[in-house]
Chain A
């Protein structure tokens, strides 16, 4: 038996433990709701955790398809990037897979002498962890961009009007970044 076969056979158990580990990163009194409310619209965090851990694990065992892995990680991390987590706390749920696999499947790994494969699997988890870091950074960059866009939008028409006014008067300069850059 290969480790891949072993992981496939135990998929439900491993993923369930993984989900529990992720939900446990939230305050205790809120965990029951996150775990038990099935409605995807009433409990988006729980839904994303449930769906995406399953998807991630499937790809992890099967082919590590980078696009699919990235997409699932992005959904999980997009949420965690705006919650009360340090950057390390937001992404380290990927690493949780290591002790879960090791503990849950310890006997079978030993019985089938799968330690070398386990090492390779853990390297793959490290790879996934790095992808998670990419996702987190992209989410935070996006937030910065959105804040800038938001500031522009909030006074969009005022600036436009001001520029129209300034354009009417001959000795004027508009409030335009490009123009300002040219002046320098």
Chain B
């Protein structure tokens, strides 16, 4: 026995490095915290999706339907013929590596299969094997791989470790839209009943009641009424928040989290104050009660189905145009896909601000204006009475949410608004904002509890930049314009940068907005009291 005991020197002669393997060999371990649960059978059935079943990624047997390889082959072929972009993205990459170190999941995990180029190779290798002559003849030597269960599991693991944020695409010299590669891979997996719960459930809810949480019209009205009551307590002003008002000039659509989750809710209060103060003739819709479109994370068909409700409601209510709230991927759908999915929106008018006369020409196709464009225009024309010192207890930085910035180029408007309503604004380092912004790490359906560790890894680059402005400028709030950000940045910062809150741009607008007939307003929208001797916030901010 005694001679079996290793000496301390021997005990620590451990190779700490993981074994070196070729990327061609599919190896996926479904470790807790790094994958998402499978879509729920009932919801798959509700959405009439193929092969609904009970399964989980960590199980050995995924109960794949007979002939699943053929189903994927046909689906791949169909998409290559339908989307010229997909074929180009499959063929054109020269593996220059410009994207390799730009993905937050790679940066935060060090896992090379999260380099966007390698993640795309997981799909491309099957493309080469099945659809190119070189691949068919030379197989592995031409970078081709046969689609096996192992490869499929790898697809699932890594294409659900992409938040479709498109940071990598900014650096691609060929302009390959890596998010679309992920979207296609997910579409192919959908064909054999493979999707995740946090996409399936919100999509099914959205399809039924119009919003992710499945809140029904009376619940929606209740939520808005509650906010109106609370706003009256906070400001002394009773605002109107019309719902389903036919003939209103504008339909307003916001992410549903704005009316049920925190800190989104304070942004909702900001919208309500703003619309009341300028006397906007607008309406909410109890069916277009969700800006978010988890269909984008599922398939083109699902994205189309969910997007259509906004335009159907605009038509039903007879509005002239639409304003959209602080939502993220809704804007990717609206700005880049809507016109060909559900357009043309020719029953609507080209948006013109009723207060400034500004014509929003950029929205000629979609007829949908982002609220930060609308508000920036109001401020620019001095239509709002603002007291930025009411936000002096906040030392602010701004996270460019991926889709508003990279999918629609909304860089200056939110900054203009923030600078008009806050006195203490500090930008994060240049390579972490604007087009180069780092994702929250939880978009595209990945913001789940079971995927927590992966989210913390993916969010590390963002949190790291927040840490910097927290250390150097004592920043205590991170503003953003996306409901997923507002839901997932708070836990991210609780882990990496405790002491920094998360808020919305229109929350700051609401704080700073001087309303006609308001009372003293001793607190901000969060109920944090201002100090008596000035506008400084309470110490417990």
Contacts and interface: CB of A to CB of B under 8 A. Distances in A.
B2 interface: no
Contacts of B118: 29
Contacts of B106: 30, 33
Contacts of B18: 25-28
Given A44-B464, A142-B494, 5 more contacts: A30-B106, A42-B431, A143-B452, A153-B262, A153-B490
Contacts of A177: none
Interface in A68-87: 78-79, 82-84
A42 B107 contact: yes
Nearest to B263: A153
B433 to A, nearest CB: 10
B20 interface: yes
A147 B112 contact: no
A28 B20 contact: yes
Interface residues of A, number: 47
A155 B112 CA distance: 36
Given A27-B110, A96-B16, A149 B100 contact: no
11 contacts: A30-B112, A33-B110, A39-B431, A45-B107, A82-B452, A83-B457, A93-B16, A142-B495, A150-B490, A156-B265, A157-B259
Interface in B364-396: none
Contact of A84 (B31, B100, B262, B465): B31
A95 B12 contact: yes
A33 B100 contact: yes
Residue from the set A34, A40, A143 with the largest chain B CB neighbour count within 10 Å: A143
Contact of B461 (A30, A41, A153, A154): A41
Interface of A: 21, 24-31, 33-34, 37, 39-45, 78-79, 82-84, 89, 92-93, 95-96, 98-99, 102, 142-143, 146-147, 149-151, 153-158, 161, 164
A80 to B, nearest CB: 10
Interface string B441-452: 000000001001
B47 to A, nearest CB: 23
B109 interface: yes
B226 A41 contact: no
Contact of A92 (B16, B107, B108): B16
A155 B13 contact: no
Contact of B112 (A27, A42, A150, A161): A27
B461 A84 contact: no
B361 interface: no
Interface in B421-479: 429, 431-432, 449, 452-453, 456-457, 460-461, 464-465, 468
B487 interface: yes
Contacts of A93: 16
Contacts of A27: 18, 20, 110-112
B261 interface: yes
Contact of B261 (A42, A45, A78, A153): A153
A82 B456 contact: yes
B491 interface: yes
A21 B18 CA distance: 12
Nearest to B458: A82
A99 B9 contact: yes
Contacts of A154: 261, 487
A123 to B, nearest CB: 11
Nearest to B464: A44
Given A42-B431, A92-B16, A157 B260 contact: yes
A30 B261 contact: no
Given A41-B464, A84-B31, A156-B262, A161 B13 contact: no
B180 interface: no
A153 B501 CA distance: 13
Contact of A25 (B17, B429, B432): B17
Nearest to B430: A41
A159 to B, nearest CB: 10
Given A89-B16, A92-B16, A41 B33 contact: no
Nearest to B467: A44
A34 B110 contact: yes
Given A41-B431, A45-B107, A93-B16, A146 B259 contact: no
A33 B106 CA distance: 10
A28 B107 CA distance: 14
Nearest to A24: B17
B449 A151 contact: yes
